[in-house]
Amino acid sequence: MSRPYLHPGLPAPAPSDLDRPYWDGLRNDKLLLQRCRRCARFQWGPEWICHRCLNFDLSFDEVEPLGTIFSHQRVWHPVHPALKKQGAYVIVLVELTHADNVRVVGNLLGDPAQPLRIGAEVEGVFEHHHDGEPAYSLLQWRYV
């Protein structure tokens, strides 16, 4: 992606010890999600314990950034001053096909007035903000 979808000036993510592998993965063009080493199931958001089997042995494993739109929201009013010039944009909740159907949020790239369809296939796009302070990366989505 040559230029960021979102205008500059947004606050950078503030990773914690719990979600740092996710943010580090995005910087390296990888989607890393938490996975239990006992039951082998993915989960998101990250926790200290498995949501299913209550095991404490969790890792971050790479997932193919492919999924389907589970839900969406077309945003018309800026939620941050840096988005005043952005205009409308679309937020999607994506169900990840290759990760036990966990769901992650991101923006849908392209025309904000484009038709939106629940169940449509999307792929992840890594958006790097090298000029951010600190530098960071986001996971955005586009139709396949």
| pLDDT value at residue 1 | 54
Which structural domains are found in the chain, ordered by start?
A: 20-143 (2.40.50.840)
Fill in the amino acid letter for 66: L
Residues of the chain above pLDDT 70, percent:
99
Contact 106, 141 (CB under 8 A): yes
Tell whether the model's pLDDT for residue 80 goes beyond 60. yes
Tens of pLDDT, residue by residue over 30-54, are: 999 999 999 999 999 999 999 999 9
Among candidate residues 13, 8, 11, the one with its CA nearest the CA of residue 139: 13
| pLDDT value at residue 53 | 98
Q: Which two tokens stand for residue 67?
A: 């999924």
What is the spatial distance between Cα 129 and Cα 125, in angstroms, rounded to a whole number? Answer: 13
Q: Across all residues in the chain, what is the average pLDDT? A: 93
| Backbone angles phi and psi of 95, in degrees to 5 | -90, 120
What is the spatial distance between Cα 32 and Cα 14, in angstroms, rounded to a whole number? Answer: 17
pTM here? 0.93
Q: Which two tokens stand for residue 128?
A: 């790097």
